């Protein structure tokens, strides 16, 4: 079916697409049900993806990356999200494009050598810790503190809903170096898992995305050397907002791609099953609903590509990226509802992939900036200005 060839993808992108597709077919599909059941996939999969060159797509060549473009990342994301589960892609994409990106962008050459290189080979896994039990949308109000003490910073506080909590070796952590300041008081730190005082308080049980390890972290007098500060002190909020553009674009792409798979599964089902002497697909009300879904999904995909194009140009892309995440995730949730409905009772059964999709897709309008926050950004950055 139609999946939008565009001017953005070259032959190199399509060759890479084939490689990722092969990997998903041969090395993910056969195991994904088991990993979902066990609520974790093996950490060795990162090594395998490192060997295949999947973990450093846009990272610098001097640290083992491929210095590719955003379209390579989107190809990777689109194909990975075809695995009929969003848990594994969430973990992997948090590692590649939502956390290690902080090191690639703002790390010193020593930090890149020490931390980024093994992340690209898959020997080390990365996580990003911003959200706290007191709130995630209002990033400037985080309460975790980092107090300078001699040649160290001492971190106290907690983080919640952190992806890769079980597998991660290194956490990029946001903390207040000036607790009386709001956004300007935030700095980013690299915290290694085995640092005394740092612990995984709990692996959280979720509605969906089971193969992704989400947890709650506690910091009790966690002493990190001064050279584990990422970038400049007080610039953390800016770095987080900058990183959010990648994160949200990828979230939009993940939602659209997973929804595309669910739509295709539903097309297959409605063309096979018969009621009242004809295929369900041949009831016009059904085919029209499928046409609506295909149309809205295509619009969401093209908006995502447009936002990626703005991001690639280096211009401020926050409005376009927020629109892509808002629209893409809303459409994907709508598609999930319809796909379950068109499967009838089978859509409610675990043996059908749309059941998992329905649960997995729900978090996309919440995580990494909720739909409401996307609207706030569109209003403030895009609409409330002189025309």
Question: CB of residue 267 vs ligand FAD: minimum separation in angstroms?
Answer: 28
> Total number of residues binding ligand FAD (CB under 6 A)?
22
User: Per rule CB under 6 A, is residue 187 in the interface with ligand FAD?
Assistant: no
Q: Smaller CB distance to ligand FAD: residue 56 or 87?
A: 87
Report yes or no: 369 and 136 within 8 Å, Cβ to Cβ: no
Question: CB of residue 92 vs ligand FAD: minimum separation in angstroms?
Answer: 12
Q: Could you give the CA distance from residue 206 to residue 309 in angstroms, rounded to a whole number?
A: 34
Q: Could you give the CA distance from residue 244 to residue 218 in angstroms, rounded to a whole number?
A: 23
Please count the other Cβ atoms lying within 10 Å of the Cβ belonging to residue 162.
Answer: 25
DSSP assignment of 82-121: TSS-SHHHHHHHIIIIIIHHHHHHH--HHHIIIIIHHHHH
Candidates 51-59, 181-189, 298-306, 360-368; binding stretch for ligand FAD (CB under 6 A)? 360-368
Residues 96-155 that bind ligand FAD (CB under 6 A): 128-131, 135-137
The residue within the footprint of ligand FAD, chosen from 28, 154, 162, 354 (CB under 6 A), is 162
DSSP assignment of 244-270: HHHHHHHHHHHHHHHHHHHHHHHHHHH
Q: Smaller CB distance to ligand FAD: residue 91 or 266?
A: 91
Query: What does the per-residue mask of binding to ligand FAD show for 240-269, with x meaning CB under 6 A?
Result: ------------------------------
Nearest one of 189, 133, 197 to 160, comparing CA atoms:
133
Catalytic residues: 247
Give the CB-nearest residue to ligand FAD. 136
Q: Smaller CB distance to ligand FAD: residue 158 or 163?
A: 163
Q: Could you give the CA distance from residue 182 to residue 141 in angstroms, rounded to a whole number?
A: 6
The residue within the footprint of ligand FAD, chosen from 299, 370, 381, 382 (CB under 6 A), is 370
Please count the other Cβ atoms lying within 10 Å of the Cβ belonging to residue 49.
Answer: 23
Question: CB of residue 77 vs ligand FAD: minimum separation in angstroms?
Answer: 16
Q: Smaller CB distance to ligand FAD: residue 128 or 335?
A: 128
The residue within the footprint of ligand FAD, chosen from 94, 166, 293, 329 (CB under 6 A), is 94
CA angle 50, 255, 57 (to 5 degrees): 25
Please count the other Cβ atoms lying within 10 Å of the Cβ belonging to residue 118.
Answer: 20
User: Per rule CB under 6 A, is residue 225 in the interface with ligand FAD?
Assistant: no
Question: CB of residue 31 vs ligand FAD: minimum separation in angstroms?
Answer: 21
Question: CB of residue 188 vs ligand FAD: minimum separation in angstroms?
Answer: 12
The residue within the footprint of ligand FAD, chosen from 147, 218, 241, 366 (CB under 6 A), is 366
Question: CB of residue 296 vs ligand FAD: minimum separation in angstroms?
Answer: 22
CB contact set of 206 (below 8 Å; sequence gap of 6+): 212, 214, 363
In the chain, the largest separation of any two C-alpha atoms, in whole Å, equals 79
Q: Tell me which DSSP letter residue 25 carries.
A: I
Q: Smaller CB distance to ligand FAD: residue 339 or 373?
A: 373
Query: What does the per-residue mask of binding to ligand FAD show for 306-345, with x meaning CB under 6 A?
Result: ----------------------------------------
Report yes or no: 187 and 175 within 8 Å, Cβ to Cβ: yes
Joined together, the tokens standing for residue 167 give 């597998």
Report yes or no: 112 and 119 within 8 Å, Cβ to Cβ: no
At 187, is the secondary structure helix, strand, or coil? strand
Candidates 30-38, 106-114, 157-165, 260-268; binding stretch for ligand FAD (CB under 6 A)? 157-165
The residue within the footprint of ligand FAD, chosen from 142, 175, 209, 307 (CB under 6 A), is 209
Joined together, the tokens standing for residue 375 give 């609207």
Summarize as ranges the residues that interact with ligand FAD (CB under 6 A): 94, 128-131, 135-137, 161-163, 209, 214, 363, 366-370, 372-373, 376
């Amino acid at each position: 079916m139609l999946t939008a060839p565009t001017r953005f993808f070259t032959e190199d992108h399509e060759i890479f697409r084939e490689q990722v597709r092969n990997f998903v077919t041969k090395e993910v599909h056969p195991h994904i049900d088991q990993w979902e059941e066990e609520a974790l996939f093996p950490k060795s999969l990162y090594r395998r993806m490192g060997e295949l060159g999947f973990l450093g797509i846009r990272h610098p060549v001097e640290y083992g990356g491929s210095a590719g473009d955003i379209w390579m990342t989107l190809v990777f994301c689109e194909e990975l999200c075809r695995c009929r589960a969003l848990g594994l892609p969430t973990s992997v994409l948090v590692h590649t494009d939502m956390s290690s990106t902080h090191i690639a962008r703002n790390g010193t050459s020593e930090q890149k050598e020490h931390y980024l290189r093994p992340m690209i080979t898959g020997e080390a896994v990365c996580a990003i810790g911003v959200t706290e039990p007191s709130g995630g949308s209002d990033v400037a109000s985080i309460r975790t503190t980092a107090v300078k003490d001699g040649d160290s910073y001492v971190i106290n506080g907690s983080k919640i809903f952190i992806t890769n909590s079980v597998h991660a070796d290194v956490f990029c952590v946001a903390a207040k170096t000036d607790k009386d300041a709001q956004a300007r008081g935030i700095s980013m730190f690299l915290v290694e898992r085995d640092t005394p005082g740092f612990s995984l308080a709990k692996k959280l049980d979720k509605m969906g995305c089971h193969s992704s390890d989400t947890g709650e972290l506690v910091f009790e007098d966690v002493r990190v050397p001064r050279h584990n500060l990422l970038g400049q002190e007080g610039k953390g909020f800016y770095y987080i907002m900058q990183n959010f553009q990648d994160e949200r674009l990828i979230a939009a792409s993940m939602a659209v791609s997973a929804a595309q798979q669910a739509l295709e599964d539903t097309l297959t089902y409605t063309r096979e099953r018969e009621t009242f002497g004809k295929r369900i697909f041949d009831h016009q009300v059904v085919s029209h609903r499928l046409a609506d879904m295909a149309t809205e999904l295509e619009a969401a995909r093209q908006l995502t590509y447009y936002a990626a194009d703005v991001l690639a140009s280096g211009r401020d892309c926050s409005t376009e990226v927020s629109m892509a995440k808002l629209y893409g995730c809303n459409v994907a949730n709508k598609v999930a509802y319809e796909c379950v409905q068109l499967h009838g009772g089978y859509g409610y059964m675990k043996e059908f992939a749309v059941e998992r999709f329905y649960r997995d897709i729900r978090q996309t309008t919440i995580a990494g900036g909720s739909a409401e926050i996307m609207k706030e950004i569109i209003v403030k950055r895009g609409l409330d200005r002189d025309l």
